[in-house]
Amino acid sequence: MTRPLIIAIDGPAASGKGTLAKRIAAHYGLRYLDTGTLYRAVARDVLAANGDLRDAVAATAVARNLDPDTLDDPFLRDRGVGEAASIVARIPEVRDTILQYQRDFAATPPGAVIDGRDIGTIVCPDASAKLFVTATLQERARRRYHELRAKTFDVTRDQVEGEIRNRDRRDLEREVAPLAQAEDAVLLETTDLDIEAAFQAALLAIEGLLER
């Protein structure tokens, strides 16, 4: 049996990984998993039960009962949910619970494009190709601000920038599976690239990695 093709895409908040990953998945005919959605869904379900986001026992129980059919809930993209997700994402037992789901998804033929923070380092260290997508804080804040405003959220650019800075700090500094570029990942700096240019640069990098 041919090995599933796994493309790991990591990077900080609002770096454009999701948009890129979806296009790459379509290009190669692969399935796509946005792992941030899993942490966002755990946070949503903890809050819905009036639980405490820092309560490891409660959050882990919620993670074990996560219903994959609820992952397309538009509420998961709400502003506060990303922040809440980065709080539950620090809990090792929550990460362990979600780990197998992600690995099973990746291993299912024909393979997958998976985006997150720890895909190249922890979830799929043997991925066929790894990218680390980034952009300056100001550019990421600008992109997320426009995304939120399109949904008519009442928010300022400064608020968005502050929230992204907080979340980056939490993701970089946590003890388990922090946001990190895998040693064998290609860095894609997208500050000056539009979506099409970033997509072309990503394809070029992936083709180079697959040829090795």
By the criterion CB under 6 A, which residues form the site for ligand CDP?
13-14, 18, 35-36, 39-40, 82, 85-86, 89, 116-118, 167, 171
CB of 88 to ligand CDP, least distance (A): 8
Q: Which is nearer to ligand CDP, 100 or 207 (CB)?
A: 100
Cα–Cα distance between 79 and 98 in angstroms, integer?
A: 22
Q: Which is nearer to ligand CDP, 30 or 121 (CB)?
A: 121
* Residues ≥6 apart with Cβ < 8 Å to 154: none
Q: Which is nearer to ligand CDP, 58 or 160 (CB)?
A: 160
Token pair of 11, please? Answer: 């990077």
Q: What is the dihedral of CA 104, 107, 113, 119, to 10 degrees?
A: 60
Q: In angstroms, how far is CA 188 from the centroid of its own chain?
A: 15
Q: Which is nearer to ligand CDP, 147 or 211 (CB)?
A: 147
CB of 211 to ligand CDP, least distance (A): 27
CB of 109 to ligand CDP, least distance (A): 22
Which segments within the chain are labelled E, that is strand?
5-10, 31-34, 111-116, 129-134, 186-189
Handedness of CA 22, 168, 206, 187 (dihedral sign): positive
Residue nearest to ligand CDP (CB): 36
CB of 131 to ligand CDP, least distance (A): 14
Cα–Cα distance between 123 and 182 in angstroms, integer?
A: 11
CB of 5 to ligand CDP, least distance (A): 19
CB of 14 to ligand CDP, least distance (A): 5
Q: Which is nearer to ligand CDP, 87 or 186 (CB)?
A: 87
* Residues ≥6 apart with Cβ < 8 Å to 43: 53, 81, 84, 85, 87, 88
Q: Which is nearer to ligand CDP, 111 or 116 (CB)?
A: 116
